[in-house]
Structure 1
Amino acid sequence: MDLNKLFHLQKNLDAKILEQNNLTNQNLSSQKILALQVKFGELANGTQCFSYWETKSPCKESTILDEYLSCLHFILSIGIDNDFTNFDLSSSYLSCNIIEQFLGLFIDINDFVICSSRDNYTTLFQDFINLGECLGFDDSEIEANFLEKNVLI
């Protein structure tokens, strides 16, 4: 996955959103973190991985991918705001328990809120990529759909 390209596209999208909504001089860090938490919840809801008390089918794979990409937009934007755009992700895919992946990501977000360090951001991003792998998405599919979605915005 070409992270430099994704960060560049996200930076342009962020600038466009800020300009269109007259937000150019506002700090939106808290809103972006909360939005990411909400989007993670929507992604989990789409998978229905937590629903043990009823049999409810997960959403279509394309819907789950769209929710995943929405999360990616916020993760990239948070990285841009903190100047955490220059790093490499390595594959550290260890287990595919989707529930544990989601719980870990919520912990990663809270860790980042408490200490907005490069290490905590990298962990959040890496765990997010691992979740994508658990959901059956590979890097090329994520990047291609991100680029396609970005063109439409």
Structure 2
Amino acid sequence: MNFKNLFNLQEKLDHHILEKHNLHGKAFFPNKILALQVEIAELANETRCFKYWCNKGASPKSEILEEYVDCLHFILTLGLEKNYRDAEFNIHIENMQHNLTDQFLNLYVDINDFVVCPSKDHYQTLFEDFLCLGLSLGFSEKDIESAYLNKNNMNHIRQLSGY
């Protein structure tokens, strides 16, 4: 995955938002953290992995992928805010958990660790665990990048149209 390109695209979107809404000099780390937590919850909801009481299956893969890249936007913007765009990410498939519910819960632990200590190591762990979740959901790197590009373009259009 071309992380350099993803960070560059996210930086342009973030800059566009800051300019359009005149937000320079304001701190948004807590807002971005909460936004990521909400987006992860929306993603989990689309997978329905935790809904043991429900017979309805997961949403279509395309909807799950769209929610996944919504999360990716906030993970990238958090990395930009902390100047971690040069971080390296390695997925350790042998460490992947196969239970989606456990993976979602682990992401919340990762986020909490990052809030308590926003180090590059905690950021890398969060990002790597998020990438592992994408693999568990059946997404290829190409799927993720393509969906991110589409959603990033849509987000620029939304900003231009008064979103």
TM-score interval, smaller chain: over 0.9
**Please, what is the CA RMSD of the aligned residues?**
1.0
In structure 2, how many angstroms separate the alpha carbons of the residues matched to 1:149 and 1:44? Answer: 19
Q: Which residue of 2 aligns with 1:104?
A: 106
Contact 2:47 2:59 in 1 (8 A): yes
Q: What is aligned with 1:116? A: 118
Which of 115-124 and 141-150 deviates more? 141-150
Unaligned residue ranges in structure 1 (runs of 5+): none
* Whole-angstrom CA distance in 1 between matches of 2:71 and 2:107: 11
Which residue number in structure 1 is paired with residue 14 of structure 2? 14
Moved over 4 A (4+): none
Give the alignment's TM-score, normalised by structure 1. Answer: 0.96
In structure 2, distance between residues paired with 1:45 and 1:70: 14
The answer to whether structure 1 residue 91 and structure 2 residue 91 are counterparts is yes
Partners of 2:87 and 2:120 within 8 A in 1:
no
Which of 135, 138, 154 is equivalent to 1:136? 138
TM-score under structure 2 length normalisation: 0.91
Aligned amino acid, residue 42 of structure 2: E
1:18-29 equivalence runs, <5 A: 18-29=18-29
Could you give the per-residue CA deviations for residues 16-64 of structure 1, whole angstroms, max 9, x where no partner exists? 0111112122110000000000000000000000001121221111111
Which amino acid counterpart does residue 21 of structure 2 have in structure 1? Answer: N
CA distance in 1, matches of 2:42, 2:91: 25
The aligned residue for residue 68 of structure 2 is 68
134-143 vs 94-103, which deviates more?
Answer: 94-103
Deviations 1:111-143 (CA, angstroms, capped at 9, x unpaired)? 001000000000000000000000000111101
Aligned residues: 153
